């Protein structure tokens, strides 16, 4: 059975986030073992592991919001992209599945996508500066 593919961030579930977090922790843990427990690289790896956990936790909290406000919707997209782009760096590792659902999502839902396309069209029609008459 094929994994489902995400189109929008509204399709995310906490299980998706936890699966991606687990994948990242395994991959980063392997790197951390090679780096060792002392030195600047070790500090950087611990920080990265912490950031992954914090980002995943924030994302799970935001996903629990029943009707997220606009800033929360944007934060959900941003946090998913942060985790997903970190995982993308490990696409050469054994166990990474390119068809998995931790793909890129650019919008929270279809209405956000439509609104952004409308903003782009308006900007293209009007330009960055309104005309001024003297």
Query: What does the pLDDT look like over 64-123, one tens digit per residue?
Result: 999 999 899 899 989 998 998 888 777 666 665 555 556 677 777 778 778 888 888 888
Query: What does the pLDDT look like over 22-64, one tens digit per residue?
Result: 988 988 888 888 877 778 888 888 888 999 999 999 999 999 9
Count of CB atoms situated within 10 Å of the CB of 70: 10
pLDDT at 101: 54
Inter-axis angle of helices 14-35 and 40-63, to 10 degrees? 180
Q: Which pTM does this prediction carry?
A: 0.74
Tokens of 62: 């935001």
Alpha helices in the chain (DSSP H): 14-35, 40-63, 70-88, 110-126
Dihedral (CA of 74, 78, 84, 88) sign: positive
Kindly report the CA angle at 49 between 20 and 99, in degrees rounded to 5? 20
Residue of 72, 86, 95, 93 lying closest to 9 (CA atoms) = 72
pLDDT at 102: 64
């Amino acid at each position: 059975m094929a994994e489902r593919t995400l189109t929008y961030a509204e399709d995310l579930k906490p299980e998706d986030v936890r699966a991606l977090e687990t994948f990242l922790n395994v991959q980063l843990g392997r790197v951390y073992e090679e780096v060792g427990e002392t030195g600047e690289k070790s500090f950087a790896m611990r920080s990265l592991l912490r950031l992954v956990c914090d980002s995943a936790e924030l994302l799970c909290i935001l996903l629990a919001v029943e009707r997220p406000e606009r800033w929360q919707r944007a934060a959900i997209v941003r946090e998913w992209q942060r985790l997903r782009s970190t995982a993308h760096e490990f696409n050469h590792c054994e166990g990474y599945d390119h068809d998995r659902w931790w793909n890129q999502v650019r919008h929270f839902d279809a209405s956000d996508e439509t609104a952004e396309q409308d903003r782009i069209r308006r900007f293209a029609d009007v330009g960055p500066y309104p005309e001024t008459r003297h």
